Structure 1
Amino acid sequence: MRAFPAVAGNETLRNGLPGGLYSLLSHAEQYRLLCRRPDLIAPAVDELLRFWPPVVEFRRTATRDVVLAGKEIRGGDKVVVYHASANRDESVFPDPDRLDITRAPNDHVSFGFGAHFCVGARLARIQMSALIGRVVAELPGLELASDAPPKRLVSNFQNGLKELRIRWG
């Protein structure tokens, strides 16, 4: 029997949704664009995942010798993939520090890649699309509460928020 991490589909979605909403509300022009253009929900979800990856890093063991960006990695070496860094790679993403819900292509690694691609990626996208879609449809005047900065989760594995205060009006 194969064991699966307890965080799969639980912590990741729980951190991706508020992190995505925070990112979107922190870039009010992108939020207003999405309110006007709900057809952009799918690319917006991928951009929010790129901009705020729910998982900070994953550690892996190299299965064979390889040279990566001029660095020799030997089979058995421990390597770490930092999603936030990979998702801001300027050789892959033009203007990587800008949130752009129309970004295409968007080859983020928030769901991993290759043999380690998240089996729940499709479900996560559906859930995020449903929530973000409902928020922009029902709450076009939503904004961050200016008197309360978000409280971040302290973790070297999960990228999350413990508290996000918003205002609607």
Structure 2
Amino acid sequence: MREAGLRADEFETMFFLFGVAGNETLRNGLPGGLYSLLSHPDQYAQLSRRPDLVAPAVEEMLRFWPPVLEFRRTAVRDMVLAGQSIRAGDKVVVYHASANRDESVFPDADRLDIARTPNDHVSFGFGPHFCVGARLARVQMATLIRRVVAELPGLELASGAPPKRLVSNFQNGLKALRVRWR
């Protein structure tokens, strides 16, 4: 039986995970959420009129633009999932963007709807792998979005300046997002 606590390699991995998860994902989620809102001016205008929708708007932005594209896990036991046999040791990948656009879960899934409820997206994972920082990320996103919408009601995407996307198989981010304020 192993003593309680973490080995040095486990501690290093956990420290790295907290650094990436607490920084990179929020850094990708905030501009991605703002880009989603600005790409749907009707939703931005609705949020400007209805700041009480900030919490569901954040959930919808996370669903629409998940900061993490995919997560891979290793199956610990044999099972059948949606008719597919999975054996212990198999690698299983969850594609958040695909799961968050599942029409059987999200009616009109390709439409941004800041009032969508329920909104059971998987952008923070689920079950035992649910993101430990999800609550903090939601508060940070809500605070920023609330301020942007209140103080920059005429904010819009700059014409002729498409966003520059981060090239990554893991993170869904932007390197540049040009906006204009009228």
Shorter-chain TM-score range: over 0.9
Give the AA of the match of 1:128.
M
Shift of 1:124: 0.2
Taking only aligned residues, the RMSD between alpha carbons, in angstroms, comes to 0.6
Measured against aligned partners, the alpha-carbon deviations of 1:48-67 in whole angstroms (never above 9, x if no partner) come to 00000000000000011111
Which of these residues, 11, 26, 30, is aligned with residue 24 of structure 2? Answer: 11
Which of these residues, 140, 153, 160, is aligned with residue 147 of structure 1? Answer: 160
Any unmatched runs of 5+ in structure 2? 1-5
- The structure in which a higher percent of residues are helix is 2
State the match for 1:65 in structure 2.
78
Measured against aligned partners, the alpha-carbon deviations of 1:115-142 in whole angstroms (never above 9, x if no partner) come to 0000000000000000000000000000
Q: Give the TM-score normalised by the residue count of structure 1.
A: 0.99
Q: Give the TM-score normalised by the residue count of structure 2.
A: 0.92
Measured against aligned partners, the alpha-carbon deviations of 1:33-85 in whole angstroms (never above 9, x if no partner) come to 00000000000000000000000000000011111111100011001000000
User: Aligned pair count?
Assistant: 169
* Distance in structure 2 (CA, Å) of the matches to 1:98 and 1:65: 36
* Distance in structure 2 (CA, Å) of the matches to 1:66 and 1:89: 22
State the match for 2:172 in structure 1.
159
Rg larger for: 2
Measured against aligned partners, the alpha-carbon deviations of 1:93-130 in whole angstroms (never above 9, x if no partner) come to 00000000000000000000000000000000000000
Superposed, 1:129-140 pairs within 5 Å as: 129-140=142-153
State the match for 1:123 in structure 2.
136
Matched, 1:48 2:83: no
Query: Percent identity, aligned pairs only?
Result: 81
Any unmatched runs of 5+ in structure 1? none
